[in-house]
Structure 1
């Protein structure tokens, strides 16, 4: 990946928690030694989660057909960083177990007591319909998730 890649994500919120917002999350793929990193920004937590997942998709595939059925992912964790890690790990699990490339990510994140939760959906494109590169795993290496004056930013490194 010699060129940096910017893409914009339509971050619909399945729960309506961010209703009324026309905000879009953005991600950028960055070279990272033998790995690949995704830097993302968005107005809300759900949008930044979805933008990082779109970056994961872009790291695996350059072109995505309009096929596939939507599926839902629900994850809970004790911290936001753990939630982002587990959510992205679930996307990789869906690829490996169901044989689909998760695309067109949508996510809603909220706090529930002492835990954080994400409910997300993606369209599962059959791997047989795409030429996909292998991303082995999400890592905690250099992971950053922070609220800014403009919304949220995330930085995640994936093992390739």
Structure 2
């Protein structure tokens, strides 16, 4: 899994790849952390778990990143070292609600904002967002723009 920060007008973007859907989503989240802070101490912060659900794969990526920004503000910690453990899909036919549902289980390490020199990322955007299989079917790519 890999990510690259890219300049985007007044915003910042993350382009990421991964062998699996879980890996590419983790890489985008790591890119969000890198956009927020240049140096993260390796020995600070505790791991925490989170679960996010949404109606589509793209909405799941958006909601996951939005939740990380929310948790940063509420917990006063920068989520880093992301690990998306699983992404499950229940189709409308298989789901009691009659709607598609995507669910993500993940964990991250929360580094206290007082321990780092962090830049504020205000929000994730749908602007130009992509999440797709790589042409040869051997992995995934994603592109996400963040409002700074």
Distance 2:48 2:24 in 1: 19
Aligned match of 1:142 in 119, 128, 141? 128
Aligned mates of 1:60, 1:139 — CA distance in 2: 16
Question: What secondary structure, in the 3-state scheme, does the structure 1 residue paired with 2:128 have?
Answer: coil
Partner of 1:95: 72
Aligned length in residues: 136
- Residue 43 (1) aligns with residue 31 (2): no
Aligned to 2:5: 29
- CA-CA distance at 1:99 after TM superposition: 0.3
* Residue of structure 2 equivalent to 1:112: 90
- What TM-score do the two structures reach when normalised by structure 1? 0.83
Partners in 2 of 1:27 and 1:37 — Cα distance? 10
Cα deviation, residue 110, structure 1: 1.7
Give the deviation of 1:112 after TM superposition: 2.4
SS in 2 for 1:41: strand
**Per chain length, whose mean CA-contact separation is higher, i.e. which structure has more relative contact order (CA < 8 Å, sep 6+)?**
2
Distance 1:132 1:112 in 2: 37
Trace 1:3-14 onto structure 2 (pairs within 5 A). none
Query: What's the counterpart of residue 79 of structure 1?
Result: 56
Aligned residue in 2 for 1:121: 107
Map of 1:157 onto structure 2: 145
Q: Relative to structure 2, which stretch is displaced further, 136-145 or 110-119?
A: 110-119
Corresponding residue to 2:30 among 35, 40, 54? 54
Gaps of 5+ in 2: 92-99
Q: CA RMSD in A?
A: 0.7
